[in-house]
Amino acid sequence: APAPPPARHLFSDPAEVEALRRNLLAWYDRCKRDLPWRALAAAEPDADRRGYAVWVSEIMLQQTQVATVIDYYTRWMQKWPTLQALAQASLEEVNELWAGLGYYSRGKRLQEAARKVVSELAGQMPRTAEELQKLLPGVGRYTAGAIASISYGQATGVVDGNVIRVLCRLRCVGADSSSPAVIDWLWDMANVLVDRSRPGDFNQALMELGATVCVPKSPLCGECPVKQHCQAWRRKLFGKAPSVPDVEDCGVGDCPLCPPATEPWDSSLGVTNFPRKAAKKPPRAMRTATCVLERRGCHGAPEYLIVQRPSSGLLAGLWEFPSVPLAQDLQEEKEREELADYLQAWMGRPMAAKGLQFIGEVIHIFSHIHQTYVVYSLHLDGDVTLDPALSPSRWVTEDEFHASAVSTAMKKV
């Protein structure tokens, strides 16, 4: 087994742990943001409803800002206030409500898991982090810990992006914070720190600190309720003083949590020396030709053709303007021809590429894809008969388009 890291990276003094809990919780009680899922978790007496309310919020908050989530969460809980209500919804309804929130498989998985709780667990939410993770599809270690601590008072820690940042700074963890070994250490730390009598509040307080005070770029250390426990803060203040040996790195090369010897502390960065991550792979570049096909509807208003994407893969089951992926570095003329060939299949009649009007390009960044949509439009004089053997398709007005399960990228188009 690898040697444990030196004490400066750990929380080994029980008195310090107690003081940190006290300071953080007192700050949370004073400063926490008023959020709809917090109000529900505090007021809901029914344990299954409470667990469900926290679960929905945690899934929506993955990779998504709080400010964006609030409105989606409120509408979701009004429409499906219980697991049973969600289990009866159609996937189309779920996708419509989720449209614009991104990472669409989250909504689908949430609904599948709700169906499982209703049909296989008699509608009862598992009560511990271990069971939540084991029994609910799409619920990982973090989400399970959050639901169990916030809804059921289980004294279990959580580690998300905010907690990683705070813990790495509190304990000067400069090794790659995305490596499994460091993540395991951070989970151990979170489990040591979590307050035994208010675990849900403590976990939310740690995340809240990361979201509002210990932020990535310019943390507000002067206002931080736990600065006296923070090794990175001490090092920023005293780092240059040779008389303070306990704020130096542990040693060269043998500490599993220190920065690598090749990338030592950079005093110009201060506390933002931590955390450190291995460089991310750059996103893959993709080009897609897309056509906004327009016809006059029966009441004279314009209507647009949208088609449904396959039920798996990126943006599964969402609707879009007819689109075709393009090879990189095609000439514009060739791109237009590829789109015309593709549209021909929809319209069941030959179509001249020059009839397509080029509108412009729209760039949309998915987490791992840098997507460029090359947008064309085409006005149809008469009606067209669409081949029912192809993917589902329909004509929609502009209002209907916005109410459909379409991605943010298509709204930009």
Q: Which residues are catalytic?
A: 58
Contacts by 359-364 with C-beta closer than 8 Å and gap 24+? Answer: 359/292, 362/409, 362/412, 362/413, 364/408, 364/409, 364/412
Residues 149-168 contacting ligand SF4, CB under 6 A: 166
Structure tokens at 281: 């792979």
Pick the closer one to ligand SF4 by CB: 272 or 371.
272
Compute CA distances 30 → 23, 38, 210, 271, 306, whole Å: 11, 15, 16, 25, 49
Number of residues that bind ligand SF4 (CB under 6 A): 14
If one asks whether residue 226 binds ligand SF4 (CB under 6 A), the answer comes out as yes
Least CB distance to ligand SF4 at residue 233 (A): 4
Angle subtended by helix axes 14-31 and 199-212, to nearest 10:
70
Pick the closer one to ligand SF4 by CB: 78 or 218.
218
Pick the closer one to ligand SF4 by CB: 29 or 398.
29
Distance CA 327, CA 192 (A): 52
- What residues have CB less than 8 Å from 310, skipping those under 6 apart? 316, 317, 391
Distance CA 6, CA 250 (A): 7
Stretch that binds ligand SF4, among 129-137, 143-151, 224-232, 335-343 (CB under 6 A): 224-232
Residues 263-292 contacting ligand SF4, CB under 6 A: 271
If one asks whether residue 410 binds ligand SF4 (CB under 6 A), the answer comes out as no
Least CB distance to ligand SF4 at residue 208 (A): 12
Unique residue bearing structure tokens 């203040």: 237
If one asks whether residue 56 binds ligand SF4 (CB under 6 A), the answer comes out as no
Pick the closer one to ligand SF4 by CB: 80 or 185.
185
Residue 188-217 contact track with ligand SF4, rule CB under 6 A, x = bound = -------------------------xx---
Structure tokens at 307: 């088609």
Q: In the complex, which residues of this chain contact ligand SF4 (CB under 6 A)?
A: 166, 169-170, 213-214, 219, 221, 224, 226-227, 230, 232-233, 271
